[in-house]
Structure 1
Amino acid sequence: MIRSLYTASTGMFAQQVNMDNIANNISNVNTTGFKKSRVAFEDLLYSRLPAPRTGANETTLQIGSGVRVAATIRDFSDGGVLHTNQLLDVALNGDGFLAVTMDGQIAYTRSGSLQVSGGRLVTSSGYPVLDTRGREIRIDNDISQVEIDENGYVTGFSGNSHTPRNLGQIGVARVPNQHAMRAIGGSLFVSDERLDIGEPGRNQRARLMPGFLEMSNVQVIEEMVNLITAQRAYEVGSKAIQASDEMLQQANNLRR
């Protein structure tokens, strides 16, 4: 009975983590470039109990010790796209990320809400976007009407010129082992792998969709079903603890 109390409590804790993860997914349903995640569980060690011999065979009894959270797994499937008609908004259609510099390290994002700030092309959070060679895209102060095309070329007009000027080409980075990436907030991810960046649409890299934004890949109905399932599992775990506690009290009363 003491074992059942502990075992049921591990299930309740695991479902609490599951509910926290589901709540985070639902909270970010409208977050640009957000990628949902799910919780993976695994069973704990089993205890071997002595069992009577039955003829020449010996029966082994195994009792599980509960469950634990093994990992959170990120789903990098594409989200829906929103038509914004903004000149500096881009969505990625296919495999890849925009690469940015953040505090001296490379980070990756699918959030393509870009702007010009401090003479550079940056994300909405102010992180510089990298070109096909892994360099920041510089934009002089006299440049106006900055646009991005489907090949990632950034153009603008200098002074009174009526001819667009090429300012650089946005790179698309590929990360082979996406599940090893770590989320750091702001729809940003980091990876220990070497930066692999190149032209959009080349070597199986995503193409850019100017004037669009990729939204979250969270499906609200799916998350609500998962939430109800987790809630029911949590309730069952609490009832198992109550039942074990009542049985323990009855056993203690027999000694009196």
Structure 2
Amino acid sequence: MRKIFLVVLLLGAVGAALVAFVAPTPGPLRTVPAAAVDHAAYDQLLKKYVNEQGLVNYAAWKTDQQALNQYLDRLSKNPPATSWSKPEQMAYWINAYNAYTIRLILNHYPVKSIKDIGSKIKIPFVTTPWAAEFFSIGGQKMSLDDIEHGTLRKKYDDPRIHFALVCASLSCPRLRNEAFTADKLDRQLDEQGRDFLRDPAKNKVGQASAQLSKYFDWYKGDWNKNGQSVAKWVNTYAATKMNANAKVSYLDYNWSLNQQ
């Protein structure tokens, strides 16, 4: 019996040694990269409440906000990851800006202008609706200014974003009744540029003179980057090409709400 017991012990020791030899050493846990947010739900809402002229039916949307809230909740919980492509990140932030602007208007509707909301904000040192931190993304409180100036303009260096961000006013670019998506982003931004520069209510372009949107004055530094100029950007999209020495003035900005 003693010999059998010793044999069993010996076999057990050998087995343990073999297990220790062949068992793989646990490595670091691998995380699956976060998938880019699907904007299909927002796309459906835009098609439902925004017409071809970019005017929004805020009155109807005010009575049906659940789907918008769900989409914004998805944005809030899924900020862009470094694994996302540049178009995926840009589409996310452009949609976020426009969707949260709609959220802001609905929060205060009816209003005649987004600028009327500023007087209703009772937060110290916050005097405009764009500076109000009324939403969170990835657990961080944010404002519309944070998206436009702190993220899109600072990180992606593409002035065409100014054709895509819509501040709920008639002089803003037209709000597309479709969401921006990574696979269409370049085409969508160019379409926005053509639409904006060929709308005589927003830009009047002639060869010798041009009355431009204040966007080209407010963001002059963006248009002049990388060897570009206001004239070059205008001529990329305008039907009539302005001369490099054309006389430029700027149209008054219409802050009236972009509503149907």
TM superposition score normalised by structure 1 = 0.26
Of Structure 1 and Structure 2, the greater strand share is in 1
Of Structure 1 and Structure 2, the greater helix share is in 2
TM superposition score normalised by structure 2 = 0.26
Q: Which has the higher contact order (CA 8 A, sep 6+)?
A: 1
